[in-house]
Amino acid sequence: MNTGAIFKNENKKAENHPDYKGKVNVNGKEMEVALWLKTSAKGLKFFSASFSEPYIKNEPQIQNNEPQINSTLKKSISYNDLDPNDDLPF
């Protein structure tokens, strides 16, 4: 608990990618940490840090608050089910 490790980002391909990345445990919670090496206006070097929830590769694509189609509600409509007197909006 309250430990972690940070390594040089060997996969940095763009300027906005972090210089260092790692995983830490803070008060029993796993977090990812990203560090950027920066230089202040006065020329002092420092790290800018960002903490985030661990990335989960296989997250579901549908959120819980989105409606889902129930396959039992699907119904086939035949030509005979259509009323030729109905006004279509197009």
Q: Does residue 71 carry a pLDDT above 70?
A: no
Residue type (1 letter), 63: Q
pLDDT for res 61: 62
Q: Residue 61's CB: how many other CB atoms inside 10 A? A: 6
With cut-offs at 50, 70 and 90, classify the pLDDT of residue 90. Answer: very low
Given 3-state DSSP classes, what are the helix, strand and coil percentages for the chain, each rounded to the nearest 5? 5, 35, 60
Structure tokens given for 55: 């990335």
Model pLDDT for residues 33-54, shown as the tens digit of each residue: 999 999 999 999 999 999 999 8
Contact 38, 46 (CB under 8 A): yes
- Distance, in Å, from the CA atom of 54 to the CA atom of 82, rounded to the nearest integer, reads 52
pLDDT for res 6: 94
pLDDT for res 7: 95
